Amino acid sequence: MMPLLRLLRPHQWVKNGFVFLGLLFGHAWNDPHKVTLALTAFAAFCLISSAVYVMNDLVDRRQDRAHPKKRHRPLASGAVSVSAAVALMAICGGTGLALGFFGGGALPGLFVGYVLLNVGYSFGLKHVVILDVFLIAAGFMLRILAGTLGIGIAPSQWLLLTGLLLTLFLGFAKRRAELGALQDDSTSHRRVLEHYSEPLLDQMIGVAAGGVLVAYSLYTLAPETVHLHGTDKLVYTVPFVLYGMFRYLFLLHRRGGGGDPALDLVRDPHLLIAGAGWLAVTLWLLQAGTR
């Protein structure tokens, strides 16, 4: 059972936490109906994303054998058979789509879009330079939309922009980590890496990181934000974001991190504390503003 569980990559489910941004910034955490919809959407994305990971591992199992870390994955190492992986993918994907259609909110097409996006990515679009990272970011944006528009909460345009820039930052950092880890053998594992270089990726990462900080800072100070939340103090959460991004860059350049953002988040105490601090202060300020 353990190889099958590893194939599902449950630690990656933390990425589906983007679904809850609507509850947080829409002041809907006290609405049982919206909370139920968000939890169902979260569960649907967990199952569908796990099915996508299995599909990716099926498609990439030969290339993964050339990777120093990914060669230990269940399919690449032979711990799980192809037939078992296909069955697991079908069960998770089918159950996840059923949840998305019958309990995940008013826009079930978002879940279908997520599947189609990842099918296109796995079967060719991941080899298109720059577009590959934008497609990864698009998957996160669908999660945000499922947790906002999908459950009847209007998303802030500033937050959507911040989410897009943050996921682009993580995507380009992932490519930078892959390029550094594989070095001369990078193209044998991921063909698109031949179009990237470390200086180019560092520039893209810098642009995305700066964009995140500017967009999020402007969101906290925007008049509509102050009016909605009843506070102009959200700007005090910016240092947590700044520290988290600087820490992530440190892990990327000095500790060999960046290849798996979800794993970095759950393993690095600095990132955990920065994330928990941001969430705690944000919740406190939002609750204080609505009193």
pLDDT for the residue numbered 255: 87
* pLDDT band, very low/low/confident/very high, at 259 (cuts 50, 70, 90): confident
Q: What is the pLDDT of residue 183?
A: 63
Question: Between the CA of residue 214 and those of 45, 80, 218, 238, 267, what are the distances in Å?
Answer: 29, 45, 6, 10, 27
Q: What does the block give as tokens for 68? A: 């120093």
Mean pLDDT, range 66-79, rounded to an integer: 77
> pLDDT at residue 111 above 90?
yes
The tokens describing 4, both together, are 């099958």
Q: Domain limits of the chain?
A: 1-155, 156-291
> Model confidence at 243, in pLDDT bands (50, 70, 90)?
very high
Alpha-carbon distance of 167 to 173, in angstroms, equals: 10
Per-residue CA distances from 42 to 38, 240, 259, 282 (Å): 6, 25, 23, 21
183 class by beta-carbon count within 10 Å (0-12 exposed, 13-18 middle, 19+ buried): exposed
| pLDDT of res. 184 | 56
Q: For 30, left (φ over 0), alpha (ψ -120 to 50), or beta?
A: alpha
Report the predicted TM-score, pTM, of the whole model to 2 decimal places: 0.89
Question: pLDDT band at residue 262, thresholds of 50, 70 and 90?
Answer: confident
Residue 65 banded pLDDT, cuts 50, 70, 90? confident
| Count of alpha carbons within 13 angstroms of residue 204, beta-carbon side | 21
pLDDT of residue 188: 56
Identify the band that residue 69 occupies on the pLDDT scale cut at 50, 70 and 90.
Answer: confident
* pLDDT surpasses 90 at 58: no
CATH code 3.30.1490.270 for 1-155: no
pLDDT at 203 over 70: yes
What is the pLDDT confidence band of residue 249, given thresholds at 50, 70 and 90? very high
Average pLDDT over residues 37-51: 94
- What is the tens place of the pLDDT at every residue in 270-287? 999 999 999 999 999 998
Residue 230: both structure tokens together:
């009843």
Whether pLDDT at 211 is above 90? yes
Is residue 187 predicted with pLDDT exceeding 60? no
Average pLDDT along the chain? 89
